[in-house]
Amino acid sequence: MTPGRCRVAAIAGGVELVACLAAVPAAGAAQQAGVAVHGIAYDSLRGGPLDGAIVSITGIGRTTVADRRGRFQIDSVPPGTYTFVMNHDAVDSLGLPAVSSRLMVTDGRAEIRLAIPSFGAFWSAGCARPAPRDSILVYGAVRRAGDLAPVAGAKVELAWIDLGVKGRRQVTQQVQTLSVTTDANGSYGFCGVPKGAGLRVRASTDRTASGVVDLPPNPDRVRWRALTVGPLVSLDSTQVGTIAGVVMRGSTPFANARVVMDEVPEVRTDDQGRFTLYNVPGGTRQVQVLGVGMDAVTRTVDVVVNSRTDIVVNMERVTTLAAARVTGTAFIRHMAEGLAERRKSSFGVFLDSTDFVGQGTTRTAFESVAGLKVTPYGRNYFLVLKEGALNDCAANVFIDGVRQMDQEQLWSLNPGDIKAVEIYKRSSTVPPEYQVLRSTCGSVAVWTRRTFP
């Protein structure tokens, strides 16, 4: 048995997989009228079998499903050369139409192997330099909303927060951004993105844009995200679409759920769980659905101009986690001890991660906290401490012990990133760690799961 070939094409930093691995039996075996072809469906990227993979043979109408070990069998296949095609959710998640290979069937004794390529195969196809340790590849394509035509020359921006520790106590953080331009096929790719980071991606041209889309952390070393761009509403307010949907909990409609987007006003579901969002800019957009006692659900929707896009959202109850014991580094222990000491005082208001459960964005999470309000400022926001109409002031914000000069990084966090919050409404109650020279306003300290894993 000799290994089949895997054909992978690189496109301007992006990756396009055309065909994948298979095994070809040796020539010269005895021919039969029909043989049982058996093989394995495998994910080389994640290192495991593909339970439920659908395997078919093009042209002869034979299809089967792989078992939990990834093994499959197709009976009564006449000897000859065929194209084997494998489909699976893991294949779809990588933006691939299918994994396929053309091979020869002789006596049926050789095992066929259909596999998603490894990280090394992806990296070699899309990136010129060696892969750094603990890095990932992010790639995708940009299409025009409506006709899905590829958009060449679009700017794609990727951002994440990079946190570090300097010495024993000082936390450093920086918003990292990368930018690439799509090629003639609308493809893009980012090499060397840190593994485990929460990512945000957006595509734009001079006259079109997508929304900002979150890529939550996961263990995969290859991430794919297709984006569609629609006309900028600021240039033509008629170039909008509609999102209509229904929110369910099991088989029961979920009433009074909050449906939140950055681009349009919030709405709530009716008694039948239905909602409609009007005047939504075209392109890839992100919708969050929030319900009391339920996990927040985030959906990415491709909105078509002058059309309605329908979605169904299923809610599930919040899973309560057991309490965890802090056992981290000396730095983490020092931060935890300081937080515990400040909790003993009566000067501040203290929140933990459970207070942010069910919130779709950091903005809506802080809007629900008594004594705080969120004020728009240009394309961003300011966190304001409410002390009466004449005494409201912009809070001094700290994230993981580092003072934030413009609050931009606060709004790039997801509610699920937040581990604890300290709120000191008056300057006279602010502990020394959060005092700002010549400031007459209070402080808000946010601790994330990057500091308290």
Could you list the pLDDT tens digit for every one of the 453 residues in the chain? 333 333 344 333 444 444 343 333 433 443 446 899 999 999 999 999 999 999 999 988 889 999 999 999 999 999 999 999 999 999 999 999 899 988 888 888 888 999 999 999 999 988 988 888 889 999 999 999 989 999 999 999 998 877 655 555 455 556 788 999 999 999 999 998 988 777 889 999 999 999 989 888 788 999 999 999 999 987 778 889 999 999 999 999 999 998 988 888 889 999 999 999 999 999 999 998 888 777 778 899 999 999 999 999 999 876 544 433 444 456 666 777 788 888 877 688 888 888 877 777 788 888 888 888 888 765 567 888 876 544 678 888 888 888 887 777 788 787 888 888 999 988 888 888 888 877 788 899 998 877 776
Residue 42, SS3 per DSSP: strand
The reported pLDDT for the residue numbered 428 is 82
Closest CA to 407 of 443, 439, 449: 443
Element (H, E) at 364: helix 362-367
Residue 107 φ/ψ, nearest 5 degrees: -100, 0
Closest CA to 242 of 267, 271, 225: 267
The tokens for 101 are: 């290979």
Instruction: Determine the Cα–Cα distance for residues 116 and 46; give it in Å rounded to an integer.
Output: 9
The reported pLDDT for the residue numbered 139 is 96
Identity of the residue numbered 247: V
CA angle 352, 353, 357 (to 5 degrees): 130
Task: State the pTM of this model.
Answer: 0.66
Q: Identify the sign of the CA torsion 72, 74, 75, 77.
A: negative
The reported pLDDT for the residue numbered 419 is 86
Q: DSSP of 269-292, one letter per residue?
A: --TTSEEEEEEEESEEEEEEEE-T
Scan for tokens 């029909």, then name that residue.
34
What residue spans of 71-217 are helical by DSSP H? 89-92, 119-126
Instruction: Determine the Cα–Cα distance for residues 243 and 347; give it in Å rounded to an integer.
Output: 45
Pairing of strands 396-399, 441-448: parallel
Instruction: Determine the Cα–Cα distance for residues 219 and 223; give it in Å rounded to an integer.
Output: 10
The reported pLDDT for the residue numbered 377 is 65
How many angstroms separate the Cα of 99 from the Cα of each of 43, 46, 116, 163?
A: 11, 15, 7, 38
Strand order in the sheet with 54-57: 62-65, 54-57, 80-87, 99-105
Contact between 342 and 349 under an 8 Å Cβ cutoff? The reply is no
Residue 56 φ/ψ, nearest 5 degrees: -135, 160
Contact between 428 and 387 under an 8 Å Cβ cutoff? The reply is no
The reported pLDDT for the residue numbered 339 is 84
Closest CA to 294 of 323, 332, 254: 254
The reported pLDDT for the residue numbered 303 is 95
Instruction: Determine the Cα–Cα distance for residues 159 and 148; give it in Å rounded to an integer.
Output: 25
Taking the CA atoms of the chain, what radius of gyration do you get in angstroms? 26
The reported pLDDT for the residue numbered 121 is 92
